[in-house]
């Protein structure tokens, strides 16, 4: 049985590749705007997005283990999604400056033909140093973080913004790989798929 990552994220792809998993990538065409922003329940919001992304692909690949995921940044009771422009990216980074935010990633893994689901979320607390306008403008202009929740990617130059992390680093990158493996290996059906696709 093959594995499909329902995401075009190069970061998620790289994390799964580093685990020596054999898998295909099919980007979900699900429109995220169809899901109402749930500022009071961020974990529910990102898990819904992960589920819909996954099911968008699994409906046509019922015999595959399809993995959907969604990462959001949560700060001051507000979800910060991907910025639409430079001004919004600057607003995000100024808000995150000199404070702590939470990064949530929802994961939904599904084998439609076997009616098997693995659904969970992880969260990490990230504290930023106080940022100056020069660093913010340099980062946005050079790294164009328009595909990243909260307007930054911890694996790139913005790592210098980070004072400390409490939780899984890979969750902040975009996929809590260790928790996925731990929970997946506890599921008999998914366990067989993962083991069968390691070092294939």
Active-site positions read 70
pLDDT digits (tens, 9 = 90+) for 103-155: 999 999 999 999 999 999 999 999 999 999 999 999 999 999 999 999 999 99
User: How many angstroms separate the CA atoms of 7 and 45, rounded?
Assistant: 17
The structure tokens listed for 183 are 């929970």
Domain that holds residue 99: 3-197
Of residues 82, 63, 61, the one with CA closest to residue 73: 82
Q: According to the model, what pLDDT value does residue 58 have?
A: 95
CA angle 30, 32, 34 (to 5 degrees): 95
* Token pair belonging to 106: 């929802």
pLDDT at residue 105, as a whole number: 97
The DSSP H or E segment spanning 150 is none
- Domain CATH code at residue 124: 3.90.950.10
Q: What are phi and psi of 47, to 5 degrees?
A: -70, -35
The domain tally of the chain equals 1
Q: What is the pLDDT of residue 199?
A: 62
| Rounded Cα gap, residues 6 and 61, in angstroms | 11
- Residue 47's pLDDT is 95
Nearest-5° angle of CA 186, CA 109, CA 194? 50
How many whole angstroms separate alpha carbon 167 and alpha carbon 169? 6
**CB–CB of 17/9 below 8 Å?**
no
Q: Mark 161-190 as b/e (b = at least 16 C-beta within 10 Å).
A: beeebeebebbbbbbbbebbeebbeebeeb
Please identify every stretch of the chain with a pLDDT value under 70, giving residue numbers as ranges.
199-200
40, 71, 98 from 145: Cα distances, Å: 25, 14, 19
Residue 79 — left, alpha, or beta (φ > 0 → left; ψ -120 to 50 → alpha)? beta
């Amino acid at each position: 049985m093959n594995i499909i990552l329902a995401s075009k994220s190069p970061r998620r792809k790289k994390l799964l590749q580093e685990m020596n998993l054999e898998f295909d990538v099919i980007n979900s065409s699900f429109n995220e705007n169809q899901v109402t922003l749930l500022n009071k329940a961020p974990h529910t919001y990102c898990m819904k997005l992960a589920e819909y992304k996954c099911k968008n692909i699994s409906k046509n690949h019922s015999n595959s283990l399809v993995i959907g995921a969604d990462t959001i940044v949560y700060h001051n009771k507000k979800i910060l999604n991907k910025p639409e422009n430079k001004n919004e990216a600057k607003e995000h980074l100024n808000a995150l400056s000199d404070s702590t935010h939470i990064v949530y990633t929802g994961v939904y893994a599904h084998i439609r033909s076997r009616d098997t689901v693995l659904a969970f979320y992880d969260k990490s607390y990230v504290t930023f140093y106080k940022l100056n306008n020069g660093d913010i403008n340099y980062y946005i202009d050079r790294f164009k973080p328009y595909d990243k929740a909260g307007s930054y990617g911890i694996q790139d130059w913005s790592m210098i913004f980070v004072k400390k992390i409490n939780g899984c680093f890979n969750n902040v990158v975009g996929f809590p790989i260790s928790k996925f493996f731990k929970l997946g290996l506890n599921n008999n059906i998914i366990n067989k798929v993962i083991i069968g696709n390691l070092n294939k």
